[in-house]
């Protein structure tokens, strides 16, 4: 698989990443089963066999179980730590913690960031993270407090690079002004059916500019060398298998995806991911499936280069109307 470079990382990363949220079984307190572990091993093995070396986690995924199961899968497969690039996220806190009346919330405090990383490292059974992301913007963020946490983690060798998730350009700039470390990643929701960050640049000064707070985020990341990662890049697979009650734009886009897959002699998942890979921002899709066959089908996107006309046809079909 072709690779990208991420600032401050020595290892080139696969253009497609595996999101590891579903590896841990269930969100509840149900223990991980032997079948869960078996599925995780198969998924990680399929990813590695198809050229993926980048694995995305978060401390909250299945309440930490996903990171533990992944570490066990690497051990069972005999994968060395230097053969993979590990990224995790922190900052989301569940309702009921630490007290019953505590709401679900975001927490970029020094104490929470540093404690979260200690837990992540223990669950992943590693001495360091390649990248740590702040998961969702915290309205109460104190950038100097984040800087203190990042400095400590970096100096201790526990985190090699830092980034954010679901942040706008101005939010990134606010944090960066206080940091010694460069923010190198922004992970956002992005797919043909969730293209608001791309629409933002097309619909400026138009009445249908429905996502004004995108604030030039995609352009900001390109200008500052920040790798854009796309979560939910195939929109839960609805462009490959649309439900019966799907809206007209979804049905139209799904039909086009099937047509493009046939014309390019590839899979429907590969076409949807190739749409992201075609964008000049150098977007890195983070696929969330644990099905080895779908992982392989997705990785075929690395060999697909959509033409300008194909890219725009899917863009317009998925957004449900012509460009201004």
Q: Note whether residue 248 is domain-resident.
A: no
Q: Is the pLDDT of residue 108 over 80?
A: yes
Q: Note whether residue 131 is domain-resident.
A: yes
Question: What does the pLDDT read at residue 201?
Answer: 76
**Phi then psi for 308, rounded to 5 degrees?**
-55, -45
Q: Note whether residue 194 is domain-resident.
A: no
Q: Note whether residue 168 is domain-resident.
A: yes
What is the chain's mean pLDDT, rounded?
95
Of 8-22, 70-84, 95-109, 169-183, which range is least confident? 95-109
Mark whether 220 is an active-site residue: no
Question: What does the pLDDT read at residue 125?
Answer: 98
Residues 6+ apart with CB under 8 A from 69: 23, 24, 25, 32, 36, 37, 40
CB under 8 Å, gap of 24 or more: what pairs does 297-300 form? 297/267, 297/269, 297/270, 298/16, 298/234, 298/267, 298/269, 298/270, 298/273, 299/1, 299/16, 299/50, 299/51, 299/52, 299/270, 300/266, 300/267, 300/269, 300/270
Q: Is the pLDDT of residue 228 over 80?
A: yes
- The confidence band for 210, taking pLDDT boundaries of 50, 70 and 90, is low
Question: What does the pLDDT read at residue 209?
Answer: 54
- The confidence band for 207, taking pLDDT boundaries of 50, 70 and 90, is low
**Phi then psi for 281, rounded to 5 degrees?**
-70, -10
Of 2-11, 25-34, 124-133, 198-207, which range is least confident? 198-207
Count how many domains the chain has: 1
Residue 78 tokens, joined: 């005999």
CB neighbour class for 42 (10 Å; exposed up to 12, middle 13-18, buried from 19): middle
Q: Note whether residue 11 is domain-resident.
A: yes
Q: What is the pLDDT of residues 231-288, one digit of tens each?
A: 999 999 999 999 999 999 999 999 999 999 999 999 999 999 999 999 999 999 999 9
Q: Note whether residue 95 is domain-resident.
A: yes
Q: Is the pLDDT of residue 198 over 60?
A: yes
Q: Which ranges in 178-247 belong to alpha helices (H)? A: 196-202, 217-223
The answer to whether the beta carbons of residues 14 and 51 sit under 8 Å apart is yes
* CATH code of the domain containing 88: 3.20.20.100
Based on its alpha-carbon atoms, the radius of gyration of the chain, rounded to whole angstroms, reads 20
Residues 6+ apart with CB under 8 A from 51: 1, 14, 16, 299, 302
Q: Note whether residue 296 is domain-resident.
A: no
Q: Is the pLDDT of residue 58 over 90?
A: yes
Q: Note whether residue 173 is domain-resident.
A: yes
Place of tokens 């899917």: 314
Which residue in 4, 61, 128, 312 is the catalytic one? 61
The boundaries of the domain holding residue 169 are 3-189
């Amino acid at each position: 698989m072709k690779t990208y470079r991420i600032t401050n990382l020595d290892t080139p990363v696969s253009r497609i990443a595996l999101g590891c949220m579903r590896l841990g079984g269930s969100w509840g307190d149900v223990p991980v089963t032997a079948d869960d572990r078996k599925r995780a091993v198969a998924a990680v093995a399929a990813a590695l066999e198809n050229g993926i070396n980048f694995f995305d986690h978060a401390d909250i995924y299945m309440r930490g179980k996903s990171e533990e199961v992944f570490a066990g899968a690497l051990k069972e497969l005999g994968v060395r730590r230097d053969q993979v690039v590990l990224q995790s996220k922190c900052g989301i806190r569940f309702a009921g913690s630490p007290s019953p009346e505590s709401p679900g919330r975001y927490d970029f405090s020094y104490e929470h960031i540093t404690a979260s990383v200690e837990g992540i490292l223990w669950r992943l059974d590693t001495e360091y993270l390649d990248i740590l992301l702040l998961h969702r913007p915290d309205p109460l963020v104190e950038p100097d407090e984040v800087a203190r946490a990042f400095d400590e983690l970096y100096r201790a060798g526990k985190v090699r690079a830092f980034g954010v998730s679901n942040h706008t350009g101005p939010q990134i700039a606010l944090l960066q002004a206080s940091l010694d470390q460069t923010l190198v990643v922004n992970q956002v929701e992005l797919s043909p059916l969730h293209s608001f960050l791309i629409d933002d640049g097309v619909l400026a000064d138009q009445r249908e500019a429905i996502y004004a707070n995108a604030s030039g985020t995609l352009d900001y990341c390109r200008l500052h060398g920040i790798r854009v990662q796309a979560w939910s890049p195939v929109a839960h697979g609805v462009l490959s298998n649309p439900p019966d009650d799907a809206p007209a734009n979804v049905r139209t886009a799904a039909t086009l995806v099937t047509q493009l897959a046939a014309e390019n002699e590839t899979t429907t998942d590969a076409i949807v991911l190739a749409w992201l890979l075609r964008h000049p921002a150098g977007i890195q899709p983070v696929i969330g499936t644990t099905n080895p066959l779908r992982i392989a089908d997705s990785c075929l996107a690395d060999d697909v280069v959509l033409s300008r006309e194909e890219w725009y046809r899917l863009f317009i079909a998925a957004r449900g109307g012509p460009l201004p």
